[in-house]
Structure 1
Amino acid sequence: MEASEEKYLLHRGLLLPRETHTADSLTFAHEFELRDDDILAVTYPKSGTTWMQEVLPLVLNGGDLTPVQTIPNWDRVPWLEETRLAIVAERLPTPRALVSHLPYHLMPKSLDSSKAKVIYVSRNPKDVMVSSYHFHKMASFLDDPGTFHEFMDKFLQGKVLFGKWTDHVKSWRHTELGDRILYLTYEEMVQDLRGSVRRVSDFLGRALDEEAMERIAAQCCFNNMKTNCMSNYSLVPQDIMDNSKSPFLRKGVTGDWRNHFSAEQEAQFSAVISREMEAEELSSSLWCPEPSPPAHQ
C-alpha cells in the first residue's frame, strides 16, 4: 500500500506528514539562520525527541521547571522543519533549543557556518518500529499501519516517515561537525538518565549543581512526563491524536520489540539492518542486542 498523497508530502525523497509540514515550512527550515549558541536535538522519529524537549530547557535554565510545566513542548523546543517554527522562532529564549528529524544533508546551510551544537539520539530500530507502529494507530493524520508484518516491510524499505532508519543514522555519523556533536542513545537515557543529563550539561558547558541535576532527572523520568499535559500531547484534539487507542507516551522502555516480533521477523529485520550498517563503526548492539527469549507470536 502506497502512502496517501492526501496525508503526506514528498520532500527530497522523504515522506513527511502534511499535518505539520508544508513547502513553506521546509523552505523556512532550509534558510533558517542558526546562531552560534543554538542547540539542535536530532532524532529519527520515535527515538527520544519528546525526552530531549524536556531535558534541554531544564539544562539550559539551570533546572527551573516553569517552561516544561507551562509551555507545550512543540513551542518550548520546536521542530526545525515544521510549520510552528515560523510562528514561535522570534520569541524563543536564548540560547534557542530546537529539534529535528531531518537527515544531515537536509540541514540548513547555517549549521556548518555557525558554531551551533547538535545532540543526536539514536535508538534500537526494533523498538523504534514498534513505537512508530502504535503511533500510526492513534494519529489520524498518518496512514493506517496495516498488520505488524506489513508495517515492518514498509519500515525496512524506507516507505515510512523520514525514510530509512539506516540512512538517517549513517547521515549523522558522517558529518563535519567534530566536537560540535554529541551522540546519545535512548537506551543510555533509560539506563542512566542522570548520567545522560550530566553528559548533555557538560557538552553545553552548563555547570549544574547536584540539586539541579536531581531536579532535572526527576522531572524527566518517564512517569512524570507521561502525566505532564505540556509534554504528553493530551492537549492535541482527539480527532488528530487519539490517546485512547494508544497513548503518545506509551511505555518508555527498552526491549518492547520482544513482545511484538516473532523469531522469524526478528531474524529478517536484523539481517536487513545489519547488512545496511555493515560498513559502520557503530556497535551492532544498537540493532542486534543480546540473544533473548522467544518473542510472543
Structure 2
Amino acid sequence: MKKSRKIFVDVIDKAVEAANSMHPDELLFSYKGTFYPTTLCSPESFKALETFEARSDDVILAGYPKSGTNWLSQILTDLIAISQKKTPGRESSVNAEDVQEFPYLEVGDAEKYERMMKLPSPRFMVTHLRPENLPKSIFKNKVKILLLTRNPKDLATSFLPFFQWPGFFSFPGTWDDFFTDFMTKKMAWGCYFEYLSEWNKYADQENIMTITYEEEKENPALAVKNIATFFGIPLTEEQLQLVVERCSFQSMKKNSEKTHGTFGNIIFRKGGVSDWKNLFIEDLQDHNQKMDKAFEEHIAGTKLGKKLKYDLYCKA
C-alpha cells in the first residue's frame, strides 16, 4: 500500500510546512460555529462536500480525533482487501492504477469530491465530522457507518500531545489551558460532548454500528469479527488472526514511520486505557468534576453514554 501511505505522509508534511509559516491565531478557522485546522480543511471544501454523492456500498468510519480512527482504519482497510480476495499487507493488494485520495472526507481541496467519483467501489472514508455536517446523501442512501467513541478523559489526554506537536497546531499552553479549551468548544472539530450528543440521535439506525475504543482493546478478535459481520465480510479463522495481528498497537507503532511519517509517534502514542489518571491528578481535582458534570449534562443516560461505561473507565 505504498501509494496510499505516500498520500497520507504528503498531506501531513504539506500541512506542517504550511503551519510553520502561519501565526498561531491562523491555525484554526470557524465554519458554521465549529473550529477546523486551516492547513487541512477549508470553507470551500466544506461547501463542495455538501453535494457529494455517497454510494450505498461506501464504507465510512466516523470518530472524533484521537478516538482511535487510525487504528480502526487499519482494520477496515484489511477487511476490504479480504472482501476483494486480496491478502492484507501485500503490495499487490492495491491496484497501482487506482485513483487514490486521502481517506479523511473533510480533508483536501474542493475538487477532491469530483475525483472521488472515479474511485472504484467500495470507497473507504473516514470523518471526524458531526452527522449534521456530513453530506445528506450518506443518510439518504443508508451507507453503513462504523461509529467509534472513546472515554472522554483518555481522549482529552491523548489529544494534548497532538496539539502540542511543533509546526502543526503548536499549542503553547499548559494542560490546564488545554483542558479549558477542550471544555469550552475551542478545539478543532468542536466539542466532544456535543459530538457524542449529535451522533446519539443516529445510534439506533440499522446502518450504523457503534463501537468503543475500550471494547476493541478488551477483545480485539471479537471486535474485528463483529465489524466484519456488520459489513457483510466473511472471514476464515486465519484471516481473522491476520487482521488482529496487523492491527495490534505494537505492530502499528512499529510501522508508524512508514505509514504516517514523522506524525506516527504522535498518532500512536501509548494505545492504552486510563492514562488520564496521570493528568487528572488530585491537585487538579476540579478537572474531574468538570468532566463528570459535562458528561452528565450531555450524554449520560443515552445509548452512546451507556456504551462508554463512564463509571468504569472515568472514575478514579
The bucket for the TM-score relative to the shorter chain is 0.7 to 0.9
Shift of 1:162: 1.1
- Residues 118-143 of structure 1 show CA distances to partners (whole Å, capped at 9, x for unaligned) of 01000011111011101111152214
The partner residue of 1:54 within 59, 64, 74 is 74
Higher helix share: 2
Whether the aligned pair in 1 keeps the contact of 2:145 and 2:209 (CA below 8 Å) is: yes
Whether the aligned pair in 2 keeps the contact of 1:50 and 1:231 (CA below 8 Å) is: no
**CA distance, structure 2, for counterparts of residue 222 and residue 68 of structure 1:** 24
Shift of 1:285: 5.1
The partner residue of 1:266 within 288, 291, 294 is 288
TM-score where L is the length of structure 2 = 0.80
The corresponding residue for 2:90 is: 66
After superposition, residues 1-297 of structure 1 pair within 5 angstroms as 4-62=24-82, 63-66=87-90, 78-83=103-108, 85-86=112-113, 89-90=116-117, 92-175=119-202, 178-229=205-256, 232-234=259-261, 241=263, 247-263=266-282, 264=285, 265-278=287-300, 280-281=302-303, 282-283=305-306, 286-289=309-312
**CA distance, structure 2, for counterparts of residue 67 and residue 274 of structure 1:** 47
- Residues 239-260 of structure 1 show CA distances to partners (whole Å, capped at 9, x for unaligned) of xx5x7xx633101111110111
5+ residue gaps, structure 1, are none
**CA distance, structure 1, for counterparts of residue 203 and residue 313 of structure 2:** 32
Specify whether residues 225 and 76 from structure 1 end up closer, same or farther in structure 2 by C-alpha distance, changes over 3 A only: farther
Percent identity, aligned pairs only? 25
**CA distance, structure 2, for counterparts of residue 111 and residue 40 of structure 1:** 9
Q: How many residues align?
A: 280
Shift of 1:24: 2.3
**CA distance, structure 2, for counterparts of residue 77 and residue 208 of structure 1:** 27
Specify whether residues 94 and 284 from structure 1 end up closer, same or farther in structure 2 by C-alpha distance, changes over 3 A only: closer
**CA distance, structure 2, for counterparts of residue 22 and residue 67 of structure 1:** 33
**More off after superposition, 191-200 vs 57-66:** 57-66
5+ residue gaps, structure 2, are 1-22
**SS class of match (1:40):** strand
**More off after superposition, 57-66 vs 94-103:** 57-66
TM-score where L is the length of structure 1 = 0.85
Whether the aligned pair in 1 keeps the contact of 2:149 and 2:211 (CA below 8 Å) is: yes
Whether the aligned pair in 2 keeps the contact of 1:68 and 1:230 (CA below 8 Å) is: no
Shift of 1:278: 3.9
